[in-house]
Structure 1
Amino acid sequence: MAYVINDSCIACGSCLPECPVDCISEGGIYVIDGDQCIDCGSCAAVCPTGAISPED
């Protein structure tokens, strides 16, 4: 199960260096490539707005 980023994302960049497989793309709201995500949760642990969670 991959992680996803919701509309609460403020594009602060905290998650980018935490991803061991570099599957997060920058933008107005960041996006996680679900095919590359290894479900480690490192990005969610550092997100200041709680915008990152496991995909339903």
Structure 2
Amino acid sequence: MAIMITDECINCGACEPECPNTAIYEGGREWNWAGGTKLETVELEDGTAIDAKTAQAPVSDEFYYIVSGKCTECSGFHEEPQCAAVCPVDCCVPDPDMVEAKEELLAKKAWLHQEVEQE
């Protein structure tokens, strides 16, 4: 499951540099799929392909936020989500709307970083 930031966030920014996928952004800031990844194009749910550098609307205008499509809970990088480990107010919590198995998180990491299995 992806991590989310609750409205208890104090906007300290401690979480942002800890994310290996660059999935955390300051409130009000646009994001894109390319940041912190090797993605060049992304196919959206409606089948439309976009340039991964295309700016996307902020998820929150008030607080730091996590783009769930880029969050892997640090799977493949660390034993636990680093945003939650450094958050001084414990507002980085599992997102009940984005439940994913460990295998799904690792597959998402491989997709984000365009990791190809060696044969």
TM-score by length of 1: 0.93
In 2, Cα distance between the equivalents of 1:3 and 1:29? Answer: 14
Q: Give the distance between the partners of 2:73 and 2:17, measured in 1 at CA.
A: 15
CA RMSD of aligned residues (A): 0.8
Which segments of 5 or more consecutive residues in structure 2 lack a partner in the other structure? 28-61, 75-80, 97-119
Higher share in strand: 1
TM-score normalised per structure 2: 0.46
| Greater RCO (CA < 8 Å, at least 6 residues apart) | 1
Count of paired positions: 56
CA distance in 2, matches of 1:9, 1:55: 15
Q: Deviations over 1:17-50 (max 9, x none)?
A: 1000101110231110000001121100000000
4+ runs deviating over 3 angstroms: none
Q: What amino acid does structure 1 have at the position aligned with 2:22? A: D
Identity across aligned pairs (percent)? 48
Unaligned runs of 5+ in 1: none
Question: In the alignment, what sits opposite 2:15?
Answer: 15
Structure-1 residue corresponding to 2:64: 30
